[in-house]
Structure formats: structure tokens, C-alpha cells
Chains A and B, each alone.
Chain A
Amino acid sequence: MSPEKTSILDVSKLVKRFGGFHALDGLSFHVVPGEILGLVGPNGSGKTTAINVISGLYAPDGGEVVFDGASAGGVASHKLVHRGINRTFQVPKPFLSLTVRENIQVALAYGGATGAPSIAELLEEYRLKEVADRPAADLNSAQQKMLDLTRALATRPRLLLLDELAAGLNPAELDWIAGRIKALAATGMAIIVVEHLMGFIEQITDRVIVLNAGKEIFEGTLATAVREPQVIEVFLGGEHAH
């Protein structure tokens, strides 16, 4: 099964520079529908930058992003949303003065999706029913993360990028959200997860890509990755390798 035929996202030789700093330095990978791919790596390795480029927040300085057979690099975010890409943010960014319900309504009205889940379903499934008519500013950070996720899901993405969704959740919430993410993937949604919690990554991903300095240094399962000297080196420093 060649990735070119079935993948929904193909990233090749992606470059993103900030001044002289190469945040992404020739990154290539692909994702297929229904797959949960983990992006791991130390701080500054380019994980969030990759998500920002794929979701249209940054235009790439080189390389290509192909989503569903068409070029997606440098395309405006709202157009990518309409084509089926969405994301959450490391620090959730809800519309603070709008109610939870209104937050989701905006995405339902402007997401351009047919057959999107209803507000009632989203509120119920992501435990926001009780706070539905409160301003988003009143929510705690875990609830704001869920609201951020429902905002993304309301546009019915086929590729969902989750940027540290699990950080700050308690163990019970982690298990629960892991179940939700797997259920989404089971519907055929491709999901890219950026996360520091390795246990969580192991629980949900099919495959991980380890990044260092904007490049891929490993691709495979997390269980294999942790035995890889190069991976151990970038995470723990040179003296622990070998």
C-alpha cells in the first residue's frame, strides 16, 4: 500500500524559517484516513510549527503540503477549514465573551460542513452541557480545551490536528479523551497528535514521528522509538545513549 495512493495528507521537504532559525528543515511525512499519528520531540523541535503550517497559519518557505490531492501550503486557514482541516491550540483560544453554545454556533455556521454533529451532540459528548450558556471565559482550562475541540469538530474535519490537548488533564479525563480520539479516528478521520505525555501517545497512536531541529529522526511505533539511540540522545542528552 503506497502512501501516495491512500494518504490524505502528504508533507514533503517542508521548510519554515524564522529569521535565521530553521523551525522546519525538510520535514516529510504522510497520514492516512483513520490513522492517529503522534508528533513527538523536544521543545523547539518544530512540532507546533508543523501544525501551524498545515493549518494555514504560516506559509511554508519551502516544500509542499498536499491535502486530499491538492496543494494546501500557504492557503488561508478558513479555506483549509472548508476543505476539511482543523486543529486545536496548545493554549485554547475560545471566543471568551461569547457563550459556549455561541462559540460552537460560529463554527457550525461558517465551517461549511454538511452533516456536522449538532450542538446538542457536541455539548453532550464533550461534557459542556452544564456550561452551554455561560461565557467561555467562565470555563476552566480543561473545559476550554474541550470547547476548542468542539469548535474544530463542528466543521467536520477529515484531518484533525491536536496540539497538546491532553496537557493539564487528570488521569480519568486522559482515559476518557483517549477513548474519544480513538472513536473519531474510527470514523475515518486522520488525526495528528502533538503531545509530551508519552503514556498518552502510546495509548492512542498507531505510529509516531520523532522530530529534532525541524527534521524527522525516527518513524515507527513509540515502543521501537524509545529503544532507538538517536531518539534517546535528543530526549535525554548524549551521555545516556548507547
Chain B
Amino acid sequence: MHNASKHLLFILAPLVVVFALLPGVYQNHLLLFNFVIFLILAQGVNIIYGFTGYLPFGYVGFFGAGAYGFAIMVMHLHTPAPFAVLVGGGVAILLGLLLTPLLRLSGAYFAIANLAASLAVLHFVANPALEGITKGPYGVSLTGTFNPTHAYYAAVVVMALTVGAVVYLKNSPFGLALQAVREDAVSASMAGVNIIKMRVIAWLASALVAGLAGGIYAWYVSVFYPDNVFSGEFSIFAIVFALFGGVATITGPIVGVLILYGIYNLIGFTTPQYFQLIYGLLIMGLVLFLPAGLVSLATRRGWHVP
């Protein structure tokens, strides 16, 4: 059996089945939904950071753009929710295209510029002058589309597609070429790789993923303010989860979300007073002892981690 088929069968399929069935046995549906959203976002970060090397500190910009793309379609054009989600993804791609000049930067410069860009989008959307279109700072309240069950399953579908995309990257010359560009752009071009095209494709793919997630999030919550859907926490969490598990793998970001977001909620339920202390120590420990993520525990022993 091909590696890609194995990855689809033993990683993607169980993940989808578990999250499709869990709402029937576990009552906290919002928590399940948030898990799925972070699985999508962590894999989106994996695409652009793990495979391409750009750390997207303003990743939430695409998420928020997707949420507002959804909201505007529903509020003004009364389109069905699934179509509005697709438009949300499209809006994120447009924002990604607008931001392609950022790809000329690297390292911390890219991260900071991307963060600034996401704040710019937030303030654009939240501008009272645009109240007629975005409702400005007063927030969005969507009526007629509220359907958490459908939104949840839409999220599971997008998660499946996103993980499927990462399976493709992990098993294709295309994914290998992206990693080559990340490792050494000059050598990659001397291997015949069009480095600009590769970077833009990865960037737009990760934008699309976050935009779809944002659209579905808007569908699920129905009522939100600009600060909610442009909250820096989405970027930070998605990045930390992906790094914690280990990027440029399929399983790393999944493991990262399940463990770290699991612990996050566990602490939140049991000992919220120690929340920041425990979480901070955990992340410091990761950076100090496992900079390549949890999967490196296995790869250091020479085991192959998909």
C-alpha cells in the first residue's frame, strides 16, 4: 500500500470518524467544535510554516476575513450558509494575494509584518465608517443561518480536506519541493523549482484553510465582534499547537492540538487559578527541550513519523 493511502486510512479516517461520532456521546459540543477549528488552523500553520518556513503571526487575519466574508454574504445577500463559507475562503485567498509582497521578507520580519497586516485588517473591518457593510465595531448578529450541528459537520469536512492536503504534501514531489524551498531557496531554484510560485501556492492554500475555518466559525457562533474573530489567540494557539506536536508532519499538529488544547481545557475546568503558570511552564519546557516538537522524541530514535 502506498504511504499516502496508509496516512489517509490510519490518520485521517480515524480522526474524521471520531469527531463525527463524538457529538453523540459527549455533550460539550462547543468544545468539540473548538477542537476541530484548532485542528484546521494548526494544519494551516503547518502548510505555511512547516513546509515553507514562514511563521504566520497574523494568521488570524485570514480567519477573521473568512468570518466577515461569511457574515457579509449572509447579512446582505442572504446566501445559504455553505456557499457563504466558500466565499469566506475566497475572501481569505484575496487577502492572501494582497499580502503576497510579504513573502519577500523572511524570519522575524515576515512574522511581524504579517502580525501588523492582521491588525490592519481588523481595524479596517471594525471601522465605524463601514458600519453599513461590516457593522463596524458593533459586531455581527446573523439570523436565519444559526445551525451549530451543520456548522460542526462542515468543520469536520474542512478538517478532513485540510489533513488530506497535508497528506498530499507529505507524499508528493510538490511537498518535497516546498521543503526544499524552505531549506535553501537558491538550491531549490537550481533544482528547477519556481520558488516564487511554490511560496505563493502554499501561502494561498493556508489562507484558504483559515478562511474556511473562519466562515464556519461565524456560522457556528452567529454573534461576534471584530475582536473575537481577529483575536491574536487564534494565531498564537494554532502556532503553539503545531510547534508542540512538530511541524512538517501530518501527525504533529494533530497530536499538538489534542494534547495541548486538551490540557488547556482540563486546567481551565479544574484549576483555572494556575492556568497561566502551568501553561507557560509547558511551553517553556517545549522550547527548551523539544524545539522540534513532540514527534522529535520518536525521530531522534530513528523512527519515521508520518
Contact = CB atoms under 8 A, between A and B. Distances in A.
Interface of B is mostly: helix
Interface residues of A, number: 31
Contacts of A77: 186, 189-190
A112 B177 CA distance: 13
B189 A81 contact: yes
B180 A152 contact: no
B133 interface: no
A79 B7 CA distance: 34
A19 B183 CA distance: 29
B194 interface: yes
Interface string A81-109: 11000110100011111100011011101
Interface string A187-219: 000000000000000000000000000000000
A105 B183 CA distance: 15
A78 B163 CA distance: 30
Contacts of A148: 187
B192 A81 contact: yes
A103 B192 CA distance: 12
Interface string B179-199: 110011011111111110000
A151 B177 contact: no
A78 B187 contact: no
B176 interface: yes
A82 B192 contact: yes
Contact of B191 (A55, A89, A97, A110): A110
A110 B187 contact: no
A98 B180 contact: yes
B192 A78 contact: yes
A96 B189 CA distance: 15
A178 interface: no
Interface centre among B176, B190, B194, B248 (most CB of A within 10 A): B190
A154 B191 CA distance: 8
B132 interface: no
Contacts of A56: 189
Contacts of A111: 191-192
A107 B183 contact: no
Given A105-B173, A109-B177, A87 B190 contact: yes
A95 B183 CA distance: 5
Contact of B183 (A82, A89, A96, A155): A96
Nearest to A104: B191
B176 A109 contact: yes
A76 B190 CA distance: 10
A109 B173 contact: yes
Nearest to A112: B192
Nearest to B178: A106
24 contacts: A76-B189, A78-B190, A78-B193, A78-B195, A81-B189, A81-B190, A81-B191, A86-B190, A89-B187, A95-B179, A95-B180, A95-B184, A95-B188, A97-B248, A102-B176, A105-B173, A106-B173, A106-B193, A110-B177, A110-B193, A111-B191, A111-B192, A151-B187, A151-B191
Given A86-B190, A95-B180, 6 more contacts: A76-B194, A81-B191, A87-B190, A95-B187, A107-B191, A151-B190
